[in-house]
Structure 1
Amino acid sequence: MLELLVEWYDGVELWLVQLVYPLQVALVLAVLVPLCWGVARVVDRAVDGISARFTRASDSEPPIERGDGEMTGRRGRAA
């Protein structure tokens, strides 16, 4: 099974290397930018949740996200 995966990866790598450089850059950006954005978002939410759980204040809540992506505090003010 692992050998099949290695052969597939070698084929994809060979195909990517044979492309024209601008197309390589565009393809890598089209894959990596959304992937990195998603990973960063998951890590951010995990850290927010963990820090809210282990904070010393007993009445603290995790940050609430507004519609525009900004975080607000407990009373609705921008944090």
Structure 2
Amino acid sequence: MLESLVEWYDGVELWLVQLVYPLQVALVLAVLVPLCWGVARVVDRAVDGIGAKFTRANDAEPPVGGSDGEKTGRRGRTA
């Protein structure tokens, strides 16, 4: 199983290296930008959730972009 994965990766790497440079950059950006954006979003949500869980203020506002924060205003009124 591991040998076939290594062979596949070598094939993809060889294919990518043989492309012209602008196409290499475009492909790497097309993969890395969404991947990094998704990881940053998950980390941001996790930090907001942990911060909200351990805050001492009882009336603290929910994190920006939370499930309730997108639909309502600051004090629960509709926007």
1:55 shift after superposition: 1.4
1:6 shift after superposition: 1.0
Matched residue count: 72
Runs of 4+ residues over 6 Å off in structure 1:
none
Equivalence for 1:18? 18
1:44 correspondence with 2:36: no
What fraction of aligned residue pairs are identical, expressed as a percent? 89
TM score, norm. by length of structure 1: 0.76
Distance, in Å, in 2 between the alignment partners of 1:33 and 1:26 is 10
1:75 shift after superposition: 3.3
Equivalence for 2:30? 30
Structure number with the higher strand fraction is: 1
TM score, norm. by length of structure 2: 0.76
Q: For structure 2, which runs of at least 5 residues remain unmatched after alignment?
A: none
RMSD: 2.4
